[in-house]
Amino acid sequence: MFERRAAMATLLAGRPNNLVLVPGLGSCTWDAFAAGDDDRNFYLWGAMGGAAMIGLGLALAKPEARVAVITGDGEMLMGMGSLATIGVQKPKNLAIVVFDNGLYGETGMQESHTSGGVDLLAVARGCGIERVVDVADEAGLKELAGLLATSDRSLFARVAITRDDPPRLLPEKDGVVIKDRVRRAVEKIS
């Protein structure tokens, strides 16, 4: 298992210029900000369950960009239907990465359904996502970081993380400011 903040830093190390990040609300947003604020980060402050669909929209609208959604198991469980839409659309430039600690971290650390046996990898496969990866070690995490920039088909990855809760580092909260800066950054990708 990985410490989630360190896992985020590994995934974003050496980030290519055309990679747009949609971190899920809460922990993933804080961890992305801790790894280094970037105009290509579409931070979420609400819309639980919506990160994958926002990523899909960006991937379809800007096919020359790479889009990585990095979210938690709780949010993915709330937006599980999005995996079916992604599986049907099959955007080659979209990766969904789920940090899975088996908890609903944003609502009080209750056990999530992945603690009860729900297999998000099987769900992703069943929805038709073409590349499904379970990251088990540091080499696999570094390989996943490379796939965010190079995968030639839609990707779903599960990264098992520890149940830690590092101090919160909070990025910009104004949705209009976030939207506008991401829009400007994405327009530069060719």
Residues 6+ apart with CB under 8 A from 72: 24, 26, 27, 28, 98, 99, 100, 101, 105, 106
DSSP 8-state class, residue 60: H
Six-digit token pair at 176?
């209009």
Q: Global pTM?
A: 0.91
Instruction: Work out the pLDDT band at 117, boundaries 50, 70, 90.
Output: confident
Query: Cβ(24)–Cβ(70) under 8 Å?
Result: yes
Instruction: Work out the pLDDT band at 3, boundaries 50, 70, 90.
Output: very high
What is the rounded CA–CA span in Å between residue 85 and residue 126?
A: 12
- Any idea which of 6-15, 117-126, 167-176, 179-188 has the lowest mean pLDDT? 167-176
Query: Cβ(26)–Cβ(72) under 8 Å?
Result: yes
Residue type, 55: G
Extended beta strands in the chain, E state: 19-23, 66-72, 94-100, 103-104, 110-111, 131-135, 155-160
Q: Domain holding 85: CATH number?
A: 3.40.50.970
- How many domains in the chain? 1
Model pLDDT, residue 109: 62
Segments forming the whole domain that contains residue 74: 4-187
pLDDT tens for each residue of 123-170:
999 999 999 999 999 999 999 999 999 999 999 999 998 887 777 878
Model pLDDT, residue 120: 95
What is the rounded CA–CA span in Å between residue 14 and residue 26?
A: 24
Q: Taking 70 as the threshold, does the pLDDT of residue 172 lie above it?
A: yes
Phi-psi region of 26 (alpha: psi -120 to 50; beta: other; left: phi over 0): left
Backbone angles phi, psi at 139, to 5 degrees: -65, -40
Model pLDDT, residue 113: 67
Model pLDDT, residue 135: 97
Determine the average pLDDT of the residues in 80-90: 96
Q: Of 46, 23, 18, 48, nearest to 33 (Cα)?
A: 23
What is the rounded CA–CA span in Å between residue 77 and residue 120?
A: 8
The CA-based diameter of the chain, rounded to the nearest angstrom, is 44
